[in-house]
Amino acid sequence: MVTVPNVAPDTPALRKNPVFMYFQDGFQKPAPFTPDIAVGIDDVIEKKLGALDAHVSQFYEWMPWLDGILEQVPKEAGARKEWLRKRYMDSRETTPAVRQALVKWYGQETAKGMKYAEAFEICEYGKRPSEAELRQLFPFFPANPR
Protein backbone atom coordinates (compact mmCIF):
# COMPACT_ATOMS: atom_id res chain seq x y z
CA MET A 1 0.00 0.00 0.00
CA VAL A 2 3.01 2.33 0.25
CA THR A 3 2.94 2.74 -3.54
CA VAL A 4 -0.77 3.58 -3.70
CA PRO A 5 -1.49 7.32 -3.98
CA ASN A 6 -3.86 8.95 -1.50
CA VAL A 7 -3.84 6.12 1.07
CA ALA A 8 -2.28 8.67 3.40
CA PRO A 9 -3.08 12.01 1.74
CA ASP A 10 -0.39 13.93 3.65
CA THR A 11 2.34 11.47 2.58
CA PRO A 12 3.45 11.02 -1.03
CA ALA A 13 3.24 7.47 -2.39
CA LEU A 14 6.54 5.73 -3.03
CA ARG A 15 7.44 5.19 -6.69
CA LYS A 16 8.91 1.73 -6.02
CA ASN A 17 7.91 -0.88 -3.50
CA PRO A 18 10.65 -1.28 -0.85
CA VAL A 19 11.88 -4.53 0.64
CA PHE A 20 9.95 -5.48 3.77
CA MET A 21 11.31 -8.12 6.13
CA TYR A 22 9.91 -10.01 9.07
CA PHE A 23 11.99 -10.36 12.23
CA GLN A 24 12.01 -13.79 13.87
CA ASP A 25 9.57 -14.43 16.70
CA GLY A 26 7.99 -17.48 18.25
CA PHE A 27 4.71 -17.48 16.33
CA GLN A 28 4.04 -20.41 13.99
CA LYS A 29 0.63 -19.54 12.53
CA PRO A 30 -0.40 -18.87 9.87
CA ALA A 31 3.10 -19.92 8.75
CA PRO A 32 6.37 -20.67 10.54
CA PHE A 33 9.23 -18.20 10.13
CA THR A 34 11.61 -19.01 7.28
CA PRO A 35 14.96 -17.23 7.58
CA ASP A 36 16.04 -15.88 4.19
CA ILE A 37 18.84 -13.86 5.74
CA ALA A 38 20.82 -14.27 8.94
CA VAL A 39 23.25 -11.72 10.32
CA GLY A 40 25.91 -12.75 12.79
CA ILE A 41 25.86 -10.37 15.76
CA ASP A 42 28.56 -11.82 18.03
CA ASP A 43 30.68 -8.67 17.58
CA VAL A 44 27.85 -6.40 18.76
CA ILE A 45 26.06 -8.60 21.28
CA GLU A 46 27.07 -6.34 24.20
CA LYS A 47 25.60 -3.33 22.39
CA LYS A 48 22.39 -5.27 21.80
CA LEU A 49 22.26 -6.20 25.48
CA GLY A 50 22.74 -2.53 26.34
CA ALA A 51 19.90 -1.56 24.01
CA LEU A 52 17.56 -4.12 25.57
CA ASP A 53 18.65 -3.02 29.05
CA ALA A 54 17.70 0.57 28.19
CA HIS A 55 14.07 -0.51 27.72
CA VAL A 56 13.45 -0.83 31.45
CA SER A 57 9.66 -0.97 31.38
CA GLN A 58 9.62 -3.62 28.67
CA PHE A 59 12.35 -6.01 29.82
CA TYR A 60 12.19 -5.57 33.61
CA GLU A 61 8.51 -4.86 34.15
CA TRP A 62 6.02 -5.69 31.40
CA MET A 63 7.48 -8.91 29.92
CA PRO A 64 8.41 -10.43 33.31
CA TRP A 65 4.93 -9.54 34.58
CA LEU A 66 3.35 -11.30 31.57
CA ASP A 67 5.55 -14.34 32.16
CA GLY A 68 4.66 -14.43 35.87
CA ILE A 69 8.27 -13.90 36.98
CA LEU A 70 8.30 -10.22 37.98
CA GLU A 71 9.53 -11.16 41.47
CA GLN A 72 12.67 -12.70 39.90
CA VAL A 73 13.87 -9.39 38.42
CA PRO A 74 16.75 -7.99 40.52
CA LYS A 75 16.42 -4.41 41.81
CA GLU A 76 20.08 -3.43 41.31
CA ALA A 77 20.96 -2.31 37.74
CA GLY A 78 24.06 -4.49 37.26
CA ALA A 79 22.31 -7.59 38.57
CA ARG A 80 19.32 -6.82 36.35
CA LYS A 81 21.53 -6.68 33.27
CA GLU A 82 23.06 -10.07 34.10
CA TRP A 83 19.56 -11.47 34.67
CA LEU A 84 18.57 -10.11 31.25
CA ARG A 85 21.63 -11.72 29.65
CA LYS A 86 20.77 -15.12 31.10
CA ARG A 87 17.06 -14.89 30.37
CA TYR A 88 17.01 -13.40 26.89
CA MET A 89 20.47 -13.87 25.42
CA ASP A 90 22.25 -16.95 26.69
CA SER A 91 19.09 -19.04 26.51
CA ARG A 92 18.51 -18.32 22.80
CA GLU A 93 19.81 -21.09 20.59
CA THR A 94 20.48 -20.47 16.92
CA THR A 95 17.99 -22.77 15.20
CA PRO A 96 19.12 -25.16 12.44
CA ALA A 97 17.28 -23.04 9.85
CA VAL A 98 19.03 -19.86 11.01
CA ARG A 99 22.35 -21.75 11.05
CA GLN A 100 21.73 -22.73 7.39
CA ALA A 101 21.11 -19.08 6.49
CA LEU A 102 24.35 -18.10 8.25
CA VAL A 103 26.20 -20.70 6.18
CA LYS A 104 24.61 -19.39 2.98
CA TRP A 105 25.66 -15.79 3.61
CA TYR A 106 28.96 -16.25 5.49
CA GLY A 107 30.19 -19.69 4.47
CA GLN A 108 30.58 -22.84 6.56
CA GLU A 109 33.84 -21.89 8.25
CA THR A 110 32.75 -18.46 9.46
CA ALA A 111 29.20 -19.51 10.33
CA LYS A 112 30.24 -22.39 12.57
CA GLY A 113 31.95 -19.96 14.95
CA MET A 114 28.90 -17.70 15.30
CA LYS A 115 26.85 -17.98 18.48
CA TYR A 116 24.39 -15.09 18.07
CA ALA A 117 22.40 -14.20 14.97
CA GLU A 118 19.40 -12.18 13.92
CA ALA A 119 17.31 -13.59 11.11
CA PHE A 120 14.93 -12.01 8.63
CA GLU A 121 12.32 -13.32 6.22
CA ILE A 122 11.49 -11.42 3.06
CA CYS A 123 7.86 -10.31 3.11
CA GLU A 124 5.96 -11.08 -0.06
CA TYR A 125 4.09 -7.77 0.08
CA GLY A 126 7.20 -5.78 -0.78
CA LYS A 127 9.90 -5.98 -3.42
CA ARG A 128 11.40 -9.43 -3.76
CA PRO A 129 15.09 -8.71 -4.05
CA SER A 130 17.62 -10.79 -5.95
CA GLU A 131 20.69 -12.14 -4.16
CA ALA A 132 22.73 -9.27 -5.65
CA GLU A 133 20.24 -6.73 -4.25
CA LEU A 134 20.37 -8.42 -0.84
CA ARG A 135 24.15 -8.15 -0.90
CA GLN A 136 23.73 -4.41 -1.51
CA LEU A 137 21.38 -4.19 1.48
CA PHE A 138 23.80 -6.24 3.61
CA PRO A 139 27.21 -5.09 2.30
CA PHE A 140 29.12 -6.76 5.13
CA PHE A 141 28.38 -10.27 3.81
CA PRO A 142 31.53 -11.77 2.27
CA ALA A 143 31.58 -11.78 -1.54
CA ASN A 144 32.65 -15.42 -1.72
CA PRO A 145 31.44 -17.25 1.39
CA ARG A 146 33.34 -20.47 2.12
DSSP letter assigned to residue 121: E
pLDDT value at residue 38:
97
Is the backbone peptide bond immediately before 5 cis, with ω within 30 degrees of 0? no
Does 90 have pLDDT greater than 80?
A: no
- State the average pLDDT over residues 123-138: 95
| 71: enclosing H helix or E strand | none
Q: Whole-model pTM?
A: 0.84
For 91-111, write each residue's pLDDT tens digit.
Answer: 677 899 999 999 999 999 999
pLDDT band at 143 (very low <50, low <70, confident <90, very high): confident
pLDDT value at residue 1:
78
pLDDT value at residue 6:
87
Question: Position 94: which residue type?
Answer: T
pLDDT value at residue 15:
93
If we measure between CA atoms, which residue out of 42, 45, 84, 38 comes closest to residue 61? Answer: 84
Does 60 have pLDDT greater than 80?
A: yes
